[in-house]
């Protein structure tokens, strides 16, 4: 029982960042119909930027997080502008190949720039864990959860309460009609990609200090994000948020009760089960597109 409680706490903490990853990816897919293979690299990029600002430049920890997110947003917008804008309207396979190419370039550039040795980011938070009854959590992880939840809430605000969000939702529903209504589709796409990338970078900046930063960390992040998005239904934002927590739970249980080696396999097992029984995702009715 105590162990299960600990697993649940871990689930909630990891689930927050997974949800960020998933929301970013599903937003890009839903609005742009692009399977973004660079998503994991933007996660890794966020983590490296965190390392750069916080450890190398020695900047304030929280300011560094904000800077890393901004850097991710900028890089995402650049990718969209350079690689996707010229191929607007191309079929999904074409854009997938472009994104795979970009993925390889980004990962190996990171490798060149930072070397293959794992980097660690020290946090200013107390070393001693927070202990509540049988459960213990490091303060760093608590902070990660709080910021992740705040970012999820902020994303919802942007999507549901702002003019930009309204334009995004209109494009999500029907890009042709949105264009007719005077929405600048090109800039919406660039902003969407930047926004989604910022969320991935945020997840990286938050988890960088929890784990270590390596050039290949993006691979698993990409694959996990795919699992989350499939779980929630491609293009479904709430589904992705919930999917993030479900994946985290499955991983905790998989690692805790099966074998820690299979922790990372849980996402794929989930994908296969979902596709077998509910190919359109668990929450197909909510706000799925197409």
Exactly one of 57, 60, 63, 87 binds another protein (CB under 8 A); which one? 87
Residue 105 sits in the site that holds another protein (CB under 8 A): yes
Segment contacting another protein by CB under 8 A, of 53-61, 138-146, 153-161, 220-228: 220-228
Asked if 51 touches another protein (CB under 8 A), the answer is no
| Residues contacting another protein: total by CB under 8 A | 41
Enter the DSSP assignment of 133.
Answer: T
Residue 132 per-residue DSSP state: E
Considering only 127, 133, 261, 277, the residue that binds another protein (CB under 8 A) is 261
Q: Are 203 and 151 in contact (CB under 8 A)?
A: no
Q: Which residue has the tokens 């993925």?
A: 103
- Lay out the site mask for another protein across 262-281 (x = CB under 8 A, - = otherwise): x-xx-xxx-xx--xx--x--
Instruction: Give helix 217-232 / helix 185-207 axis angle, nearest 10°.
Output: 120
C-beta of 60 vs 94, nearer to another protein:
94
Beta strands (DSSP E) in 81-167 are 130-132, 135-137
To another protein, the closest distance from the beta carbon of 78 in angstroms equals 14
Q: Which of 5, 56, 88, 109 binds another protein (CB under 8 A)?
A: 109
- Residue from 66, 83, 149, 212 touching another protein (CB under 8 A): that is 83
Residue 101 binds another protein (CB under 8 A) = yes
Pick the closer one to another protein by CB: 87 or 161: 87
The angle formed by the CA atoms of residues 115, 204 and 206, to the nearest 5 degrees, is 120
Query: CB of residue 98 vs another protein: minimum separation in angstroms?
Result: 5
Out of 18, 53, 61, 103, point to the residue binding another protein (CB under 8 A). 103
3 state DSSP class of 31: helix
Regarding 97 and contact with another protein (CB under 8 A), the answer is: yes
Work out the number of other CB atoms within 10 angstroms of the CB of residue 161: 10
Sorted by sequence, the CB contacts under 8 Å of residue 277 that are 6+ apart come out as none
**3-state class of 213 per DSSP?**
strand
**Other beta carbons within 10 Å of 250:** 20
* 113 C-beta neighbours (distance < 10 Å), count: 10
Residues lying near another protein in the complex (CB under 8 A): 29, 35, 83, 86-87, 92-94, 96-98, 100-105, 107-109, 111-112, 219, 223, 226-227, 230, 234, 259, 261-262, 264-265, 267-269, 271-272, 275-276, 279
């Amino acid at each position: 029982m105590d162990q299960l409680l600990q697993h649940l706490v871990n689930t909630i903490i990891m689930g927050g960042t997974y949800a960020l990853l998933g929301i970013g990816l599903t937003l890009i897919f839903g609005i742009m119909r692009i399977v973004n293979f660079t998503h994991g690299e933007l996660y890794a990029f966020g983590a490296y930027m965190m390392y750069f600002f916080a450890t190398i430049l020695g900047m304030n920890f929280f300011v560094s997080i904000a800077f890393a997110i901004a850097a991710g947003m900028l890089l995402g917008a650049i990718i969209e502008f350079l690689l996707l804008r010229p191929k607007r309207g191309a079929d999904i396979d074409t854009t997938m190949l472009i994104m795979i190419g970009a993925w390889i370039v980004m990962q190996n550039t990171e490798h060149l720039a930072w070397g293959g040795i794992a980097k660690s980011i020290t946090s200013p938070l107390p070393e001693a864990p927070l202990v509540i009854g049988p459960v213990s959590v490091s303060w760093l992880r608590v902070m990660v959860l709080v910021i992740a939840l705040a970012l999820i809430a902020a994303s919802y605000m942007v999507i549901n309460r702002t003019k930009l969000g309204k334009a995004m939702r209109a494009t999500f529903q029907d890009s042709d009609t949105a264009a007719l209504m005077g929405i600048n589709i090109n800039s919406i796409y660039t902003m969407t990609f930047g926004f989604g990338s910022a969320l991935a970078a945020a997840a990286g900046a938050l988890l960088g200090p929890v784990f270590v930063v390596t050039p290949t960390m993006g691979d698993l992040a990409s694959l996990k994000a795919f699992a989350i998005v499939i779980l929630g239904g491609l293009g479904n934002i709430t589904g992705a948020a919930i999917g993030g927590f479900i994946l985290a739970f499955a991983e905790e249980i998989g690692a805790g009760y099966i074998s820690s080696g299979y922790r990372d396999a849980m996402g794929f097992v989930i994908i296969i089960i979902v596709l077998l029984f509910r190919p359109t995702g668990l929450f197909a009715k909510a706000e799925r597109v197409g």
